[in-house]
Amino acid sequence: MNFLAHIYLSGDNPRIQIGNFMGDGIRGKDYKHYHPDIQIGVLLHRSIDSFTDFHPVFRQSKHRLTSKFNHFSGIIIDMFYDHFLAKNWSMYSDIPLATFTHQFYENLHVHYDELNDKTKRLIPYMTENDWLYNYQYIDYLEKILHQMDKRFSVPSNMDLSIEDLQKHYAEFEEEFTIFFAELSQFAKEKLAIFTF
């Protein structure tokens, strides 16, 4: 899953949200150098990623793109699923998306000294462009995918996947809805274990 989903699935604890958000950038046992709640967030992130990678519905979505985008297809589906979460946010939270995202940005600043360097570098771009809120808009999603393409040594052409999103929009959205209901329950149970 991508940023918005990881944060949402972390519950209300700001440090768990931050740990889950930073999860990709913390390797091996390095997470043990962080605040205990951030450690929980990192472990939750890893659990969510494992659940996602092996879930048949996620794989079904991914398979629709594999022939065109190969190993980039998983990254693209992560982005598509964040789009559907943002677009349908009111189905999942009573807190308006704009409020939720800005509270998270504020939490990043409050806990700035506890962040890894990768996250510190990311904050200006993320907050200035309000990534988390704007995932709901397809044209913005295309822009982000185009920017992400520049990060790879081999062209991914990920922005072209927007054509596939539009062509199979209903199928992708239905798959997200089924998958996310199961993932939400899984994350809730994992969080209860980690915070016991």
pLDDT of residue 67: 93
This prediction's pTM: 0.95
Identify the band that residue 191 occupies on the pLDDT scale cut at 50, 70 and 90. very high
**Are the CB atoms for 129 and 36 separated by under 8 Å?**
no
Angle at which helices 97-110 and 117-128 cross, to 10°: 140
**Residue 190 confidence (pLDDT) above 90:** yes
Identify the band that residue 152 occupies on the pLDDT scale cut at 50, 70 and 90. confident
pLDDT of residue 83: 97
* Domain coverage including residue 18: 3-194
Identify the band that residue 80 occupies on the pLDDT scale cut at 50, 70 and 90. very high
Q: How many domains does the chain have?
A: 1
Identify the band that residue 196 occupies on the pLDDT scale cut at 50, 70 and 90. confident
Identify the band that residue 77 occupies on the pLDDT scale cut at 50, 70 and 90. very high
If one compares 132 and 153, the residue with the highest pLDDT of the two is 132
**Residue 1 confidence (pLDDT) above 90:** no
User: Six-digit token pair at 112?
Assistant: 């700035």
Q: Which residues of 86-108 are buried (b: 16+ CB within 10 A; e: fewer)?
A: bbebeebeeeebeebbeebbebb
By mean pLDDT, which of 53-62, 117-126, 168-177 is the weakest? 117-126
pLDDT of residue 156: 84
Q: What is the spatial distance between Cα 69 and Cα 116, in angstroms, rounded to a whole number?
A: 30
**Residue 106 confidence (pLDDT) above 90:** yes
Q: How does DSSP classify residue 154? A: S
Identify the band that residue 151 occupies on the pLDDT scale cut at 50, 70 and 90. confident
